[in-house]
A and B are shown apart, each in its own frame.
Chain A
Amino acid sequence: MGRSETGWLQRLVSLGDAGLNLTIIFKIIVFGLINALTLWSVTVLGAERQYPLIVALVAGIALFDYVYLSDRVYPVRFIFPGAFFMVLMVVFPIGYTIYVSFTNYGTGHILPKEMVIEQYTGRLALSKDLPTYKAQIFKNPAGDFAFLLTAATGEKLVAADSKASPLSQSHLKPADFDGDGVPEQLGHYTQESVLNVFSALTTLQNLTFEYEGKILKLRTPTEFGFYTPKYEYDATLDALRDLETGAVYFAKDGNFTSITGESLDIGYQTTVGWRNFKKLLTDRRYSAPFIQVFLWTFSFAFLSVIETLGLGLLVAVLLNDPTLKLRRLYRVLMVIPYAIPAFITCLVWRGLLNTEVGIINNAIILPLFGKAIPWFQDPFWAKVALLVVNLWLGFPYMMLICSGALQSIPGELYEASMVDGANGWYRFRRITLPLLLSQLTPLLISSFAFNFNNFNVIYLVTRGRPAIPGSITPTGATDILISYTYRMAFEGGAGGDYGLAAAVSLLIFIIVSIITFINFKSSRALEEVPQYE
């Protein structure tokens, strides 16, 4: 609250000075609103029977109330927002992914079982061998509907109050006032215009009328037909029965299957235990390309870190020289690759490296060497292309952090070493490098982990291609684990196997964690900064 603000704010502040505790009022408003919101959400969720969500929400808000209202845990108030969002955005997605990896969630298994049963039992089929009726719609002041139905044979029926009966037997009689053959009234119901009928269709669509043991329903706004349910659910057998053919489909492992092996189109989501993991680890068709892809992923990440660090460090050291002219201009130019969105850069490089019409081949390689490099057709050159693009994208970041780290090295060290007769290279190797690396190690490790999962660069530049000829599942020579997973999960089998994708993500997470952990442990040696008195 700035004292310089005028008007109502100043008046509010002066009220506070006069003794009215604004903090309390503010707290009341905020807490009131948040808890009211929670209560409202609970009623809405309760209507949709989302019980786990309700429990989570109530627990979260109860915790929030306790932390901010009680004085005993005052320090927690500062950690709470960060911790809350971390749980929401990091812990919860990880937990959910682990859950999904134990299910068969994917194409053909999206809906919960109850919804699938609801769909099948709710599907009414038009009985094609029974007559249809042209309908005229009437409405009474109370809002109920009645219908005058005329068959192609001239037979007339009256449908009202969930029952249909022949015109002669109905107590509702049509009245035609203007003699045009179209009745304006049916008993106490008056004719409805087609326009109004359209707005009421949502109510009308659910009306059913029983006639001679069969169900009559609206087929179009002007027509009625006989409908029969096609499927029936048997709770004891846990199966759907086809009422036409008599076939029984038992609920098993995500599909409704009959004893002859046929299954119904729509499947449901269910847990399948360790099936996804077993498939990945024991099925040769998946595990075989895995090793090759893993080795390339590791090399790609490792080489990317080394090359970006190399170039970044070189540029940072060069730009560190205070006597270099136009230093600021160079620095700005060097940061440009980092500023352009990686997405665009990758696509542009893809065009530049095109074998036949790309500018790199046509303007540089061909004149120099006489032969074009098959950038995306040859596995080796495709890998080189990826490393070049990643170098372009990554070195500004390394340059920036090296520049920062270089500033922290005390100049006296260099002066002392120069007095002792050390040359530039010796100074770099013995002073700059060790001190730099001890500061940069965590950043290098995180850069490694990032490039291990660098889906964007791989997918946009080479799409993982060129294909490895003869592999059991479609694999590319430049596929990394994550792009291989993507293809396996979303372009394999019946499309979209999220359960399998979640299982692979989990495995990749474990692999990356192990590598990171080993890195951290082994780089302890670099953490030992030499002591100076």
Chain B
Amino acid sequence: MKRYLLLILCLLCVLTISGAYASEEGKLLIWADDTRSPIIKEVAKDFTDKYQITVQVQELNFGDLRDQLGIAAPSGNGPDILIGAHDWLGQLVVNGLIEPIDLGGKEKDFAPVALSAFSWGKNLYGVPYALESIGLIYNKKLVRKAPETWENLVASGKKVADQSKRQWGFVLPQPDPYHTFPLMAAGGGYVFGENPDGTLNPLDIGLNNKGAVQGMQVLLDLVTDGIMPTGIDANTMATLFKEGKVAMIISGPWYFQDFRAAGLDFGFAAIPKIKGKPSRPFTGVQGFMISSFSKNKLLAQAFLNEFIVTEQAMYALYEKGDRPPAYLPALKKVKDKDILGIYDSASAGVPMPSIPEMASVWSAWTNALEVILNGTQQPQEALDVAVGQIKTAIEQAK
């Protein structure tokens, strides 16, 4: 008897739950991942207190946000606003999931690289709030001053490296195109070439040109000199750095809290120049985007323009997120040297390409890096293969 009652209760529950989280008129629903949702919840509370409009923040996995939007939004169950990275733009725009945003004249208050990262064609699709990029993180105990040129890095690395003690001078995650790109970019390597109107040309790939090969050779020299181990992934690298077994790594602000908690005395600097040319890392920009299926587009726009694009809100977002703000008035208030260092790296960096064709680049590029670092193929050969694979993948996708 009790079992049947339970069944009836379940059926009734199904009725009530079905409408829980969807874009409703007069309320705002924001989707964010676990690092950003606590930040936005606090900022949104102030908005609710002032304007009496409920702002609901729903937490989803970073990897699921994009895909869930594609499923939920067209069926009416999507959010009004979503917080994400600029390289999602390509996929979201061609899937018809996000709306162009009207900043209402506040464009001049943002870092130019942030605005260009969130632009697609002639439209702006997101309100940027944070920048990030990678740089050289060094252990101040093992390396007194951050090296400015690659030769200095090699010299510092040689001093620290000791095979018998399992100590190394330098590590970057392998095989990882995102972290290896700055070295390839220094000599002139690039992913997609730019058209005259600023859009990216997926048929012009610069991953196997002279600069890119030079970057890989630089990395291989580190391995032969015994300064860098092979086959280390990002988590292992962070652990080794925390244990003081590595002097310098290339990584981003995501590990700062971890390193500080471990009591490490570290510093952040731009990646050293190679042969006099700056090593430009990929810049990632995070921002707010409005769903095309939102029922409250103007309200969402007003929330972003009037409330988020203010010094207080942007500064609060920076404080919790540990990333330099893209909003210049808030940036002026930042005093942390490491964060300012990230801003300099990011503004001098290359925005990560957001066109959907980027998806075919990562696998091929990662494979090329792997065979190069294993010694299975020469850099030029491996990169030529990768570019061939990418071109194949892009062509057949049309």
Contact = CB atoms under 8 A, between A and B. Distances in A.
A143 interface: no
Interface in B257-297: 292, 295-297
B16 interface: no
Contacts of B382: 469
A354 B302 contact: no
B356 A111 contact: no
A505 B173 CA distance: 33
A465 B369 CA distance: 12
Contacts of B306: 220-221
A201 B50 contact: no
Contacts of A266: 93-96
Given A202-B299, A355-B230, A9 B1 contact: yes
Interface in A152-201: 195, 198-199, 201
A254 B1 CA distance: 54
A110 B51 CA distance: 36
Given A108-B356, A493-B397, A37 B4 contact: no
Nearest to A119: B96
A493 B396 contact: yes
B394 to A, nearest CB: 7
A306 interface: no
A220 B305 contact: yes
Contacts of A285: 392, 396
Contacts of A30: 4, 7-8
A494 interface: yes
Interface string B81-109: 00000000001011111001010100000
A80 to B, nearest CB: 15
Given A110-B70, A491-B359, A493-B360, A377 B392 contact: no
A356 B231 contact: yes
B393 interface: yes
Interface string A458-471: 00000001110111
Interface in A48-62: 48
Contacts of B53: 198-199
Interface residues of A, number: 66
A366 B70 CA distance: 50
Given A199-B53, A202-B25, A266-B96, A472 B389 contact: yes
B152 interface: no
Interface size class of B (residues with CB under 8 A): 35 or more
A110 B95 contact: yes
Contacts of A111: 74, 95-96
Given A219-B102, A266-B96, A496 B296 contact: no
**Most chain-A Cβ atoms within 10 A of its Cβ — which of B26, B53, B306, B367?**
B367
Nearest to A44: B18
Interface string A308-334: 000000000000000000000000000
**Most chain-A Cβ atoms within 10 A of its Cβ — which of B50, B121, B359?**
B359
A491 B102 contact: no
Interface string B370-398: 11001011000010010011001110110
A362 B326 CA distance: 46
A26 interface: yes
A496 B91 CA distance: 9
Identify the 3 closest CB pairs spanning chains A and B, nearest first: A493-B397, A495-B359, A467-B367
6 contacts: A195-B52, A265-B94, A266-B96, A469-B382, A473-B392, A492-B363
Given A467-B366, A474-B367, 15 more contacts: A1-B1, A40-B15, A115-B74, A123-B100, A198-B299, A199-B51, A199-B52, A219-B102, A220-B302, A285-B392, A354-B231, A355-B231, A356-B232, A469-B371, A470-B377
